[in-house]
Structure 1
Amino acid sequence: MVIGPAGNVRVYIACGVTDMRKGFDTLAAQVQTMLSFDPHNGSLYAFRGRRGDLIKILWWDGQGLCLFSKRLERGKFLWPQAKDGSVSLTRAQLSMLLEGIDWRAPVRTWAPEVAC
């Protein structure tokens, strides 16, 4: 069984840097106060740490809050330049972002080593 959001889910990226020590309640409060959204509306809310190699995604699945995290071993998650607020992405753009691909111009933030 695969757990995931519906195909029509909205995706928001919290601009700026987020303290990655934050958990469910603090991130949900940040969605309410800083982004002015209801964290229980079924949208995805993505947050990035200072180094850029870790993101957390908060999502209400209808029964409770889910908190997903991903850390890249190489490269960085590319984030909008705005210092505050949010940016809305499509699921395809989110997929590229999660793979470490620049969603504005699809290029990887790192290149695999090629054996000679």
Structure 2
Amino acid sequence: MDEDCIFCKIFAGSIPSKKIYEDEDVIAFFDIKPMAKVHFLIVPKLHVPSLKECDASHQALLGKMLLLVPKLAEAQGLAGFKTLINTGREGGQEVFHLHIHVFGGGPAGS
């Protein structure tokens, strides 16, 4: 856990979130700045700054996260969806804790 990380603070309960899933390894919650009608994040509880820092020891966790995507998307009523993993500042990453964005249902606000 990183004391300064917003996602770690969400896991700890010091920052509220609108959770849609949680287990011992990951949490999923709606993005606070949605870019689509449905926009949620899947985040590992293990603090890993980005996909670039992952190695073979993270394989099971990464697989678990990816396999959750279609299950959680279906639970949110999405027949199709997009996924995005921003990696590094140059890759558009804003929160330096690995996470998968899941989008669907058309643009937010439409």
TM-score by length of 2: 0.29
Comparing both structures, which one devotes a greater share of its residues to helix? 2
